[in-house]
């Protein structure tokens, strides 16, 4: 008799495989490589003393020469304080290191960007800010990672104001950008518009608040968005709101998630497992869009959702369902574009440009290499394909130039248009 697969057995298997993967044959997932010859006495005299003194003098005279003579221009710091690591919560800075190394793998593999992962033991946001500010000259960009809300908002804003290199909290903006790209395509398929759609966002942490901000910047109507946290709908009458939640508060008499879902065109979940009931889904408007992004267990599972509604377009955060909202579609290529023109920041226009590039790419014919990578016979824009696949080689061809162009147009680029990019 064939036994059915036990999810606990599957979890045990992947966990054991992950431990072996991280430990063998050499602990960790990233390393530092030497990029210049170091085989002869002359090589060493150029790499270190006395030759190294000359680039030191040049950089002392003109700090911009650091981009010419050092790795700064292609080096990103992936930094955490360990307060919100994946779904594991406040595990501490050191325990967050495997995730930061993993981010380094993705930066290098998808966009050929080098990474130093840095885990900061900080008791307060100000301690973290001070640490990052002091080490920032080493890097061409800062990727903040796994920092709990609301401190993540304060930390990012302070560092953006104090530094002259891009600072990007991927849990906020990376998630928001991919949500926006997928949502625009889903609404198109459903015959609805961003400006008119009624939306419910479940989860008022970094991703939820950033998604609301970006969608409003792209044309969503602020009065059409209800944000829900653990205490219910975030409305202007609540007295327990921090400034970031108050910024997404609505004037409404709806108080519960169930109230909010009635008649909604869009649901975006960045919260927890199984929080949306069949009844809530049934109460949504015709042709709804459901982004249930809690991982690994969505707010409502696709197989359940499709039993209730056959007219929906759905996305999750999982790779084993269609339409995965995956940040790797964004951050490597956004930083690639920003670094290539020496942008001083990643601003809202650059984020919108990335979202639009992802949206448009999904409408193009899919290369055979992508079909082969995912063992598919065909793939085309439609209900099960509203976002590009992470292994689509065209991501590096279209997203960085779109981001770089927006940086130039908004005046935050300090470098020339790269020669290997399409004509500006």
Catalytic residue annotation? 48, 103
Helix (H), strand (E) at residue 348: helix 348-361
What's the chain's length in residues?
A: 424
> Distance between the two ends of the chain, CA-based, in angstroms?
64
Q: Are 103 and 115 in contact (CB under 8 A)?
A: yes
Q: Compute the half-sphere exposure of residue 99: CA atoms within 13 Å on the CB side of its CA.
A: 25
For 76-94, give one letter per residue: b (16+ CB within 10 A) or e: bbbbbbbbbbeeeeeeebe
Biggest alpha carbon–alpha carbon distance for the chain: 77
Q: Are 174 and 327 in contact (CB under 8 A)?
A: yes
Q: Where are the alpha helices (H) located in 24-96, listed in sequence order?
A: 41-47, 53-61, 66-69
111 and 336 Cβ atoms separated by less than 8 Å = yes
Q: Inter-axis angle of helices 175-189 and 206-217, to 10 degrees? A: 50
Q: Which residue has the tokens 């992508």?
A: 370
CA distance 395 to 354: 10
């Amino acid at each position: 008799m064939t036994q059915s697969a036990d999810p606990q057995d599957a979890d045990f298997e992947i966990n054991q495989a992950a431990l072996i993967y991280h430990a063998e044959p050499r602990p960790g997932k990233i390393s530092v490589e030497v990029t210049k010859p170091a085989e002869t006495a002359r090589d060493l005299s150029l790499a270190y003393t006395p030759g190294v003194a000359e680039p030191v003098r040049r950089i002392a005279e003109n700090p911009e020469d650091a981009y010419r003579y050092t790795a700064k221009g292609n080096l990103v710091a992936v930094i955490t304080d360990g307060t919100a690591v994946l779904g594991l919560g406040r595990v501490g800075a050191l325990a967050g290191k495997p995730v930061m190394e993993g981010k380094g793998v993705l930066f290098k593999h998808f966009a050929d960007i080098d990474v130093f992962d840095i885990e900061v033991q900080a008791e307060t946001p100000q301690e973290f800010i001070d640490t990052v500010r002091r080490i920032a000259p080493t890097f061409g960009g800062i990727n903040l990672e796994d920092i709990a809300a609301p401190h993540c908002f304060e930390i990012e804003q302070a560092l953006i104001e104090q530094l002259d290199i891009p600072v990007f909290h991927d849990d906020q903006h990376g998630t928001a950008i991919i949500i926006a790209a997928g949502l625009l395509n889903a609404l198109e398929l459903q015959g609805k518009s961003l400006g008119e759609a009624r939306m419910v966002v479940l989860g008022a942490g970094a991703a939820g608040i950033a998604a609301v901000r970006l969608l409003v910047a792209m044309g969503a109507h602020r009065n059409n968005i209800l944000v829900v946290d653990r205490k219910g709908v975030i409305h202007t009458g609540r007295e327990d709101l921090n400034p970031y939640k108050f910024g997404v508060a609505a004037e409404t008499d709806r108080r519960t998630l169930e109230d909010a879902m009635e008649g909604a065109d869009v649901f975006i979940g960045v919260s927890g497992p199984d929080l949306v009931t069949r009844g809530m889904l049934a109460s949504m408007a015709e042709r709804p869009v459901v982004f249930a992004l809690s991982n690994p267990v969505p707010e409502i599972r696709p197989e359940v959702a499709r039993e209730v509604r056959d007219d929906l377009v759905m996305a999750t955060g999982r790779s084993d369902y269609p339409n995965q909202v995956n940040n790797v579609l964004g951050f490597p290529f956004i930083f690639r574009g920003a670094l290539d023109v020496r942008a001083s920041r990643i601003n809202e226009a650059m984020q919108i440009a990335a979202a639009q590039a992802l949206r448009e790419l999904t409408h193009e014919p899919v290369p055979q290499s992508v079909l082969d990578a995912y063992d598919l016979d065909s793939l085309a824009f439609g209900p099960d394909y509203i976002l590009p696949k992470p292994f689509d080689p065209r991501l590096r061809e279209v997203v960085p130039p779109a981001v770089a162009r927006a940086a130039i147009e908004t005046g935050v680029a300090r470098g020339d248009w790269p020669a290997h990019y399409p004509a500006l």
